[in-house]
């Protein structure tokens, strides 16, 4: 059953939430009084459609329906989840919660607030127990963290339901045990920002030099290991205790100006803004967003390959999205979007990636004959010994493709498949692969006949695929 999310406030963050839910197959209702909201969300959604599916090696669900509503009541009534993302003002958020709860007393409400505690949000609410903080990160459609902060009066069952909902759309709920102003991540970011402002104010560095100091060194480390694991390694073989002994005393020296903020005079604001213009003013915000998204996708896909950090979360979500193998003829053995990092300097998909794609498709065929992950872990598998690939049309990043596979030979240890890679938009055949595999014993690394159950399934699939329907 398609579920519905209500997004109240469709700016930078509301638009990101809308995209995250829609691209995971939810219907989305939006209320925002800004006459520009529909255009702005449309632009965020366009970026998200290009970006999010590239993280996965399987197809995402069919996109849900997006509806703009003329009132909060119409947006929230009967919705499974309500995400409030209005301007960061407590009085406004209180008014919005009152309207939501008057319209639908059962509404489960998460607030995107960057700074307010849940107990502040709940003040004067009709039903405080159904309100919590669910603080996201920009862009919400790519970054998985949600700081989930309940107060002492938030209903525990509602918190668990919220976690299930967030995980189902590929997000990672970090349940914060004790409410605190600005949660965890914004406190950390604010500390760094404060230092950055001082460094500009005191003419130590420009905005660009500060960004270089982050992106060429510790920013890269933080993205994969965070703060504490990174410092543990920096302590050498003696680990964290040695690190603290060596660098802990420096915390008492005047390295930082943590409690102080430079006065935001017009001169300082002009200085920061003009340095920022010199650094990035040649690009529009939408161009910068696309650059950011491309970089995030490349980094997250690299982490996915390592099974680490944000990449591990994508693998977990992907396994929930992967459909069971279909026995139809032809079998749809792969369905995905071509990611940016699969393209080469000709601006199209690199030929090596076709081999990867057809290899993924053959794993679906293997699973269908019983050679799934558990079978391989048990010591038997198939190895490809020959593969003829024909490149028929160019394939570009962002295109949705399917691989249609037929078993053309299943005799003893021999398994042969004909794969066709098709563009979903028009059904064009972009490439084919005639792939010949042998069943092997992983202990001896030699070919051997498969057990009877696998042989029977191979034969059944070959028979079913012997007289293929004509495809357009
Ligand atoms: N921008 C960011 O980097 C992040 C912001 N947040 C939080 O998300 C929330 C929204 O922030 P942004 O999207 O950045 O702001 P924004 O200014 O881009 O969007 C706020 C939207 O709320 C709408 N709005 C105002 N009154 C409304 C009402 N009564 N009903 C419905 N919509 C109404 C406005 O028209 C506007 O489109 C804030 O609580 C903020 O702290 C959270 C994470 C990151
Ligand atoms: C600047 N900010 C406090 C609104 C940032 C956030 O809340 C999270 C983010 O996306 O960095």
25 labeled binding residue: no
281 labeled binding residue: no
- Helices 37-51 and 12-23, interaxial angle, to 10°? 50
In this prediction, residue 254 has a pLDDT band, given cuts at 50, 70 and 90, of: low
Strands 81-84 and 331-337, bridge-based pairing: unpaired
Q: How far is the CA of 32 from the centre of ligand 1 (A)?
A: 10
Indicate whether 200 and 129 sit together in one domain. Answer: no
- For ligand 2, whether the C-beta of 341 sits within 6 Å is no
Indicate whether 364 and 430 sit together in one domain. Answer: yes
Report the pLDDT averaged over residues 236-246.
Answer: 90
Indicate whether 60 and 146 sit together in one domain. Answer: yes
What integer pLDDT is reported at residue 328 of this predicted model? 78
Report the pLDDT averaged over residues 408-427.
Answer: 97
- Ligand nearest the Cα of residue 113 is 1
Domain range for residue 383?
324-464
Reply yes or no on whether the pLDDT at 326 is more than 90. Answer: no
Indicate whether 141 and 191 sit together in one domain. Answer: no
Residue nearest to atom 25 of ligand 1 (CA): 86
8 labeled binding residue: no
What integer pLDDT is reported at residue 321 of this predicted model? 87
CA distances from 428 to 30, 296, 422, 435 (A): 36, 30, 5, 20
Residue nearest to atom 2 of ligand 2 (CA): 114
Q: The whole model's pTM is what?
A: 0.89
What integer pLDDT is reported at residue 469 of this predicted model? 53
* CA–CA gap between residue 360 and residue 342 (Å, rounded): 15
Residue 423 DSSP class: E
Residue nearest to atom 36 of ligand 1 (CA): 11
CB atoms under 10 Å from CB of 436, counted, come to: 15
11 labeled binding residue: yes
Reply yes or no on whether the pLDDT at 49 is more than 80. Answer: yes
Helices of type H across 78-155 = 90-103, 118-122
- Ligand nearest the Cα of residue 32 is 1
In this prediction, residue 116 has a pLDDT band, given cuts at 50, 70 and 90, of: very high
Number of domains in the chain: 3
Indicate whether 339 and 446 sit together in one domain. Answer: yes
In this prediction, residue 472 has a pLDDT band, given cuts at 50, 70 and 90, of: very low
- Summarize pLDDT for 280-298 with one digit per residue, the tens: 999 999 899 999 999 999 9
Report the pLDDT averaged over residues 147-174.
Answer: 98
- Helices 185-201 and 266-280, interaxial angle, to 10°? 100
- For ligand 2, whether the C-beta of 88 sits within 6 Å is no
Say if 302 falls within a structural domain: no
Indicate whether 133 and 193 sit together in one domain. Answer: no
State which of 231, 252, 282 marks the end of a domain: 282
Q: How far is the CA of 397 from the centre of ligand 1 (A)?
A: 32
Q: What is the ipTM of this complex?
A: 0.96
Indicate whether 57 and 169 sit together in one domain. Answer: yes
Indicate whether 167 and 216 sit together in one domain. Answer: no
- Ligand nearest the Cα of residue 69 is 1
What is the domain-level CATH number for residue 243? 1.10.1040.10
Mean pLDDT taken over the chain: 94
Reply yes or no on whether the pLDDT at 259 is more than 80. Answer: no
State which of 175, 202, 235 marks the end of a domain: 175
In this prediction, residue 471 has a pLDDT band, given cuts at 50, 70 and 90, of: low
Indicate whether 38 and 93 sit together in one domain. Answer: yes
What is the domain-level CATH number for residue 423? 3.10.129.10
294 labeled binding residue: no
Indicate whether 84 and 58 sit together in one domain. Answer: yes
């Amino acid at each position: 059953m398609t579920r519905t999310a209500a997004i109240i406030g469709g700016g930078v963050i509301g638009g990101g939430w809308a995209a995250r839910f829609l691209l995971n197959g939810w219907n989305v209702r939006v209320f925002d009084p800004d006459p520009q909201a529909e255009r702005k969300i449309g632009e965020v959604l366009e970026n998200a459609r290009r970006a999010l599916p590239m993280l996965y090696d399987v197809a995402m669900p069919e996109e849900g329906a997006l509806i703009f509503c003329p009132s909060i009541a119409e947006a929230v009534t009967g919705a499974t989840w309500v995400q409030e993302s209005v301007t960061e003002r407590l009085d406004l958020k209180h008014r919005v919660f009152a309207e939501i709860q008057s319209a639908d007393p059962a509404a489960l409400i998460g607030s995107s607030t960057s700074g307010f505690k849940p107990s502040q949000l709940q003040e004067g609410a009709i039903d405080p127990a159904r309100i919590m903080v669910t603080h996201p990160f920009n862009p919400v459609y790519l970054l998985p963290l949600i700081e989930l902060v309940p107060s002492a009066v938030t209903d525990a069952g509602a918190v668990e339901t919220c976690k299930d909902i967030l995980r189902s759309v590929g997000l990672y709920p970090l349940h914060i045990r004790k409410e605190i102003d600005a949660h965890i991540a914004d406190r950390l970011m604010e500390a760094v920002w404060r230092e950055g402002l001082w460094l500009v104010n005191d003419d130590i560095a420009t905005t660009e030099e500060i960004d270089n100091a982050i992106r060429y060194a510790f920013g890269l480390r933080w993205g994969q290991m965070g703060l504490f694991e990174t410092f543990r390694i920096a302590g050498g073989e003696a680990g964290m205790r040695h690190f603290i002994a060596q660098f802990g005393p420096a915390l008492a020296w005047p390295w930082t100006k943590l409690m102080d903020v430079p006065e935001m005079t017009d001169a300082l604001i002009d200085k920061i803004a003009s340095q920022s213009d010199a650094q990035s003013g040649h690009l529009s915000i939408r161009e910068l967003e696309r650059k950011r998204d491309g970089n995030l996708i490349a980094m997250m896909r690299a982490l996915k390959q390592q099974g680490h950090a944000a990449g591990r979360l994508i693998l977990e979500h992907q396994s929930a999205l992967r459909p069971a193998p279909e026995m139809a003829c032809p079998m749809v053995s792969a369905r995905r979007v071509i990611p940016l990092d699969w393209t080469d300097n000709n601006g199209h998909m690199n030929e090596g990636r076709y081999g990867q794609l057809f290899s993924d498709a053959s794993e679906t065929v293997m699973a269908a004959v019983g050679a799934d992950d558990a079978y391989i872990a048990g010591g038997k598998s198939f190895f490809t010994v020959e593969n003829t690939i024909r490149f028929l049309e160019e394939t570009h990043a962002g295109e949705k493709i399917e691989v249609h596979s037929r078993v053309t030979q299943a005799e003893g240890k021999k398994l042969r498949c004909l794969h066709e890679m098709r563009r979903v938009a028009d059904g064009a055949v972009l490439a084919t692969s005639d792939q010949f595999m042998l069943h092997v014993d992983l202990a001896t690394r030699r070919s051997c006949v498969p057990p009877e159950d696998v042989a029977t399934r191979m034969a059944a699939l070959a028979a079913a695929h012997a007289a293929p329907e004509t495809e357009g």
